[in-house]
Amino acid sequence: MKSLDEAPGSERDRESKNPERGNRYETSHYKSALLSDPWKPCRRPRAIVKEWLLTLRCCLGAMCGMEWYSYAALGIVMAFLSFLMDLSVTKLLSAHQWLYMKLEGNSLLQFVCWTLYPACLCAVASSFSHNICPFSTGSGIPEVRTMLSGIEMPHYLSLTNMFAKFLGLICTLAAGSTVFLGKVGPFVHLSTMVGSYLSKFFTPVQANKKDKAAGEMLVVAAAVGVASCFGAPVSGVLFSVEVMSSHFALTHYVPCFFAAACGALTFRLFTVWSGDEETLQALFKTNFPTALPFYPLEILLFAFLGLLCGAASCCYLSCHRWILQFTKTNPVFIKMLATEKGLYSGMVAFLLASVTFPNFAGQYMASKYTMKQLLTSLLDSRQWSSQFHNASVHLEPEPLLEWSSPGSPVYLPLAFFLLMKMWMLVLACTLPVPAGYFMPVFVYGAALGRLHAEGVAYVFSSGVTSGQQWASINPGGYALAGAAALSGAVTHTLSPALLAIELTGQFSHAGPVLLATLLANALARSGHRPSFYDALSVSKRLPHLPSLKRACPQLPSVAVGQFLGVKPIQLQKAAGPAEIEHAVKTSSQTQIPVVDSHESPILLGFVLRSELRIFLRHAAAETLEKHLDEVCCVRPASVLLSPHSTVQEAHGVLSLVGDQTLYVTERGRLVGLLTWSEMKKILEDLAREI
């Protein structure tokens, strides 16, 4: 073994000429368990630091496994990054609002300030992300789902990507509700990047544990990403189960909850320590009535709202798939998105900001509100229509003033908001910037639920009956149900129902919210329509089988035999050193199949590449020639595939067995092999056919 203090080249020759000095070095450092590259500087201080870290790890590992410390560290780090991002975005939004108010009285300068500020931020975010790391744009959830399905995509977990995505996302969020984009998706991607590096730092050196720990950490990181955004640990874990993992192992259950709880608790504590909150409480404060939150007959209204959100999700997903296809086929869009991403992002942001200018159409859709203020105002439990028509009621500036327009009912601004934000959100999805798409849909669903409740309250101004009792409709409860139903229908998940309850603490509305989400999901899933993230995966041609299956159900039924290439390198059981040496040089597989003979290629099993190298070294030292089956251990193949097995079956088996090589046989004869790299090529070929 090489010493930490061993120098390369001529210094090693001098040590060989001076045996006493060499022996002294050997007794002092050669026996150290901490080894490093001798070319690196400061070897002695680094060795001391590593030895202290090893001692600390042994002490911590005596109490529990090191992986639990990595889960806690992941939650704390992501909570800090989430709080830092929110703080930075708040400062930038406040600066924009301050500058806009200072220019009051000059509409032209206000228009310039309102439009150029988000346009420049989006242009900077796009140019910065594209030049630093092109993989940092977009949500990141489709790529994380692909990695969790077993496909290796290391460039999406690089430090450069993390740096570019974090700063680019701050610029995107600082553009405000004008661009109408969120942070959930990119933050889940950031969490997987941090988790990947923490896994390398905390995982023991044993090679057989590294891959397993890395895969588990990615699943845990997906839950932590959501929990750190909203302080909602339970819905974060459910999101990881539903959206991210096609095969969620029960062993991941407790680590996900532990890390998500650490992240959510730390995020809420940061808000308390910063002075924003007095104690740990729900992120969005609501004042729903607790004595009688809703009457039984209102269940029908919640059910109708769920169907309404399902229909709206189908419309939105259809528009989203159309715009994705349009940007992939239109020559102008193709050229701009390939060479002028910054210019395109600035132009789109300028257009959206012009439409939302408060002295123009923005006065009818509360454009001065941030995303959080929009959701808080929509969750208000008071009926705006009754307050607007009652002259004796004082109109408070929060939240009714921004939604009220002179001479028109209050539900007209809500309808205008829904009509305009539909196409604006679809257009914003084409921006090549780091951005999330969950929160805008969540707010849109809240506005739809609010409009539904205000309309019912307008028609039945006296309330909803239940026996002899009367009660006024609570529009905030319908906004909460609409937010969960629409976002759940768009993503084909139920976790938004639990997220809506955790964000507000309104467990009294758990039943209606879940009912609306279930009905919206049922309508959105009918006809095998792909979800939002499935459409992104198909558009990017990612090798993610569940997305391909939803986009084209017949593709996974294709036989795997159609994709088998050249017959793999194989050894007969009576192979000699010459044949073995040729196989080792020409094959890169860690497992080389062994057959009965080349004339009768009946698969007997496989032999490890490391054993073949040992065999060759012994064969070179001995004069007596031996055969393969006399020296090496031929291990039986645990799982065999048929050429008629479908791609979906092969993908499922690979997901369960991990990194093992699957052998394809026909009547016992070896006809090919299948690894994750081969499966990735197969899925990429299938994605091109859609």
Q: Classify burial at 409, counting beta carbons within 10 Å of its beta carbon; exposed 0-12, middle 13-18, buried 19 or more.
A: middle
Write down the residue that tokens 């009294």 correspond to. Answer: 508
Identify the bridge partners of residue 593 per DSSP, sorted by sequence position: 606
- How many helices (H) and strands (E) the chain has is answered by 29, 8
Distance CA 449, CA 303 (A): 11
Low-confidence ranges of the chain (pLDDT < 70): 1-41, 60-65, 203-214, 245-247, 276-280, 282, 385-402, 404-408, 461-471, 623-624, 658-659, 690
- The conformational region for residue 366 under phi > 0 = left, psi -120 to 50 = alpha, else beta, is left
Between helices 609-621 and 577-586, what is the axis angle to 10°?
A: 140
Q: Classify burial at 253, counting beta carbons within 10 Å of its beta carbon; exposed 0-12, middle 13-18, buried 19 or more.
A: middle
Task: Answer yes or no: pTM beyond 0.85.
Answer: no
The per-residue pLDDT for range 274-308, each reduced to its tens digit, is: 776 666 676 777 777 777 777 788 899 999 999 99
The encoded tokens of residue 581 equal 């040496």
DSSP three-state, residue 519 = helix
Q: Cα–Cα distances in Å, from 475 out to 6, 286, 394, 453, 622?
A: 74, 12, 19, 5, 87
Distance CA 79, CA 283 (A): 14
The amino acid occupying position 202 is F
The per-residue pLDDT for range 531-550, each reduced to its tens digit, is: 899 899 888 888 888 888 87
DSSP three-state, residue 666 = strand
Alpha helix ranges (H) inside 231-297: 233-239, 253-273
The amino acid occupying position 477 is G
Q: H/E/C letters for each residue in 296-365?
A: CCHHHHHHHHHHHHHHHHHHHHHHHHHHHHHHHHCHHHHHHHHHCHHHHHHHHHHHHHHHCCCCCHHHHC
Distance CA 221, CA 145 (A): 12
Asked if 512 and 492 touch (Cβ cutoff 8 Å), the reply is no
Annotate 136-200 with DSSP letters as a single string: GSB--HHHHHHHHTT---GGGG-HHHHHHHHHHHHHHHHTGGGT--BSHHHHHHHHHHHHHHHHH
User: What sign does the dihedral 584-589-594-598 (CA atoms) show?
Assistant: negative
Asked if 159 and 196 touch (Cβ cutoff 8 Å), the reply is no
Distance CA 457, CA 409 (A): 12
Distance CA 543, CA 93 (A): 38
Asked if 400 and 384 touch (Cβ cutoff 8 Å), the reply is yes
Q: What is the DSSP letter of 553?
A: T
Q: Classify burial at 147, counting beta carbons within 10 Å of its beta carbon; exposed 0-12, middle 13-18, buried 19 or more.
A: buried
pLDDT of residue 186: 92
Distance CA 145, CA 153 (A): 11
Q: What is the DSSP letter of 646?
A: B
